[in-house]
């Protein structure tokens, strides 16, 4: 049987659940000899109460925080014999994850069940729920 999991996309937001998902994604990548792409999305801010200047400052701070988190991920992945790459994008998290997965033609998306922003939709976080509902490939939600 041909291995259909050649590329894995992990959605990572720095939360405890996404760190658990990272460990699971590494195990799967090792088992299937797959490349692991770790994506972190800086959310766009649509709050009308913010001035453009404040929105830009917050976005810059979130981007810096995200880049630091991805540096930690890169360091943790360096000890594993798998092809890997970290990606930082800006936009709607669920849409960006779905678009990236489709463009990269990944065979599996791995995500944590709840993000660091605490947004929940029933039992799953709103981002993981949307990814699960709209992905073109299998999705593993790690709790």
Quote the CA–CA distance of 2 and 85 in Å, as a whole number: 24
pTM score, whole prediction: 0.89
Q: What is the pLDDT of residue 65?
A: 92
CATH topology of domain 7-142: Rossmann fold (3.40.50)
- The closest alpha carbon to 109, from 124, 123, 94, belongs to 94
Task: Give the torsion sign (CA, 14, 17, 20, 24).
Answer: negative
CB atoms within 10 A of CB 33: 12
Q: CA-to-CA distance for 98 and 67, rounded, in angstroms?
A: 21
Q: What is the pLDDT of residue 120?
A: 37
pLDDT in tens, 9-68: 999 998 888 999 999 999 999 999 999 999 999 988 876 778 889 989 999 999 999 999
Q: What is the CA radius of gyration of the chain?
A: 15
Annotated domain spans of the chain: 7-142
């Amino acid at each position: 049987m041909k291995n259909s999991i050649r590329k894995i996309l992990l959605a990572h937001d720095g939360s405890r659940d996404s760190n658990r998902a990272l460990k699971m994604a590494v195990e799967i990548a090792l088992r299937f000899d797959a490349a692991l792409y770790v994506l972190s999305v800086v959310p766009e801010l649509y709050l009308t109460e913010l001035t453009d200047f404040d929105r830009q400052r917050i976005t810059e701070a979130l981007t810096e925080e995200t880049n630091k988190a991805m540096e930690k991920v890169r360091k943790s992945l360096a000890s594993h014999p798998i092809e890997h790459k970290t990606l930082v994008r800006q936009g709607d998290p669920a849409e960006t994850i779905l678009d990236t997965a489709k463009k990269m033609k990944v065979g599996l998306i791995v995500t944590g069940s709840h993000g660091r922003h605490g947004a929940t939709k029933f039992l799953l976080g709103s981002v993981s729920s949307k990814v699960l509902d709209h992905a073109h490939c299998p999705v593993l939600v790690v709790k």
